[in-house]
Amino acid sequence: MLSYTSAVTIALDATPLTVSTGGVGRYTLELARALACEYPEDHYWLLSDQPFPSPSNVLPNLHVGGGPRSPAERKWWTWGLDREMRRHGVELFHGTDYSVPYVPLRPSVMTLHDLSPWLDPAWQPHASRVRRRTPRLLRMGLATMVITPTEAVRRAAIERFQLEPDRVVAVPLAASESLFKPPPSAATKPGGNPYFLFVGTCEPRKNLARLIEAWRSVRKTFAVDLVLVGRDHVPSEEPGLRVLGEVADSDLPGLYSGALACVYPSLYEGFGLPVLEAMQCGALVIASRDPAILEVSRDAVIHVDAEDTAALAEAMRAATTNSYGFDDLRKRAVARAAQFSWQKTARLTREVYESATRAFSNS
């Protein structure tokens, strides 16, 4: 049994780190770092059956494990993962991306980021394995405890998968305090046309078609650009539509802070991490009324209906003509973002680990 009165060894699924950018990968790495920092007596292992870059600037108690060491261990979730955890003395597993081991030999925690794979298959065309596997894992009780990033997702998960409420805990994410912060008062904005910014992977639920339509409406009157940052965006030769694709994390704060507004009209979110990052940078944010985004941002951003293109364009137009008129909103955004931290996320997650250990020992 896992004891939290002495040092413990915990493994986190590092498979999200095989993808170069994205919220799940950021969650996995930031959480692992925060856990290692908050609980220096413990040991944390990042494990995956796929190669991933070794994280930089990590503490001595955060380790990177190996992958399958034999053909049999390629059956990772059935056999290989357990063998790797035994080699390192792992006492609890945290599946950071919808999965846990198929054989319950130790307590496990699953993070269920959102319900997008089940709400509309077109939103996640490559998530067929998650759509099939995750409900079975939950139904069979293989995830001792479940973490969601917001209460909105927690309530939806309990209803959809018929989970016991005391088995599901909402643990909010955060934005890196060292990376995302308002610019110095003397900082100058980048040259060129003023711009709106979208940060995120290009996928249907992000509602980019409406965003581009709204921007085109604004651009008929004002010389403003639209900058798209993230994976899978299609290059464009349209004047003013700047597709940057993947950028270094260190470039994001300047992009957030320099924008007229960060626009995030998503049809559905589990948390909306770019919204919080932009808020923490003191940016004006225009976002949809998605329940998770509302829960995270409260009254610190401009909310519009995701399917109302005219309302989105009007909000963007207001940001163009009266940027300084939203200074109070920017201050509220910074204050609201200060209520989130990876240290808090780590402590709440650690409490879930303890709950999982107690539940597993009593099962």
In a structure prediction context, what are the per-residue pLDDT tens digits for the chain, which is 363 residues long? 455 657 899 999 999 999 877 789 999 999 999 999 999 999 999 999 999 999 888 899 999 998 899 998 999 999 999 999 999 999 999 999 999 999 999 999 999 999 999 999 888 888 889 999 999 999 999 999 999 999 999 999 999 999 999 999 999 999 999 999 988 764 545 568 999 999 998 899 999 999 999 999 999 999 999 999 998 788 888 999 999 999 998 999 999 999 999 999 999 999 999 999 999 999 999 999 999 999 999 999 999 999 999 999 999 999 999 878 899 999 999 999 999 999 999 999 999 999 999 999 987
pLDDT for residue 7: 86
Q: Where are the beta strands (DSSP E) in the chain?
A: 9-13, 43-47, 62-64, 92-95, 108-111, 145-148, 168-170, 195-199, 225-229, 241-245, 261-264, 285-288, 302-304
Q: Where are the beta strands (DSSP E) in 273-312?
A: 285-288, 302-304
Which residue(s) pair with 110 in the sheet? 95, 146
Closest CA to 260 of 288, 280, 286, 239: 286
Considering the domain architecture, whether residues 154 and 208 belong to the same structural domain is answered as: no
Q: Are 19 and 168 contained in the same domain?
A: yes
Q: How many CB atoms lie within 10 A of CB 54?
A: 11
The answer as to whether 179 is a domain residue is no
Domain that holds residue 323: 195-337
The answer to whether 289 and 315 are in contact (CB under 8 A) is no
Q: Are residues 235 and 355 in the same domain?
A: no
Pairing of strands 225-229, 195-199: parallel
Question: Which DSSP symbol is given to 131?
Answer: H
Residue 292 lies in a domain: yes
Backbone phi and psi for residue 327, each to the nearest 5 degrees, phi listed first: -60, -40
- Please indicate, yes or no, whether residues 245 and 319 belong to a single structural domain of this protein: yes
Tens digits of residue pLDDT in 165-222 = 999 999 999 999 999 998 876 454 556 899 999 999 889 999 999 999 999 999 999 9
209 burial class (0-12, 13-18, 19+ CB within 10 angstroms)? exposed
Closest CA to 89 of 34, 5, 7: 7
Taking the CA atoms of 198, 282, 317 and 191 in sequence, report the sign of the dihedral they define. negative
Query: Does 188 map to a domain?
Result: no
Report which DSSP code applies to 238: S
* Same domain, yes or no: 130 and 218: no
Which tokens is 123 given? 């939103």
* Distance separating alpha carbons of residues 148 and 138, to the nearest angstrom: 13
- Distance between CA atoms of 130 and 124, rounded to whole angstroms? 10
Helices and strands in the chain: count of H runs, count of E runs: 12, 13
Whether the Cβ atoms of residue 85 and residue 11 lie closer than 8 Å to each other: yes
- With respect to residue 138, please indicate whether it lies within any of the assigned structural domains: yes
Residue 75 sits in the same domain as residue 165: yes
Residues 328 and 352 in one domain: no
Instruction: For residue range 50-71, list pLDDT tens digits in order.
Output: 999 998 888 999 999 988 999 9
Q: Letter for the amino acid at 145?
A: M
200 & 318 share domain: yes
Pairwise CA distance, residues 129 & 211, whole Å: 30
Number of domains in the chain: 2
Q: Are residues 114 and 158 in the same domain?
A: yes
Q: Which residue matches tokens 């065309």?
A: 125
Is residue 14 one of the residues assigned to a domain?
Answer: yes
Contact 11, 47 (CB under 8 A): yes
CATH no. for residue 268? 3.40.50.2000
Q: Which residues of 241-258 are buried (b: 16+ CB within 10 A; e: fewer)?
A: bbbeeeeeeeebbebbbb
The pTM score is 0.94
Residue 180 covered by a domain = no
> How high is the pLDDT of residue 186?
44
Question: Does residue 78 share a domain with residue 39?
Answer: yes
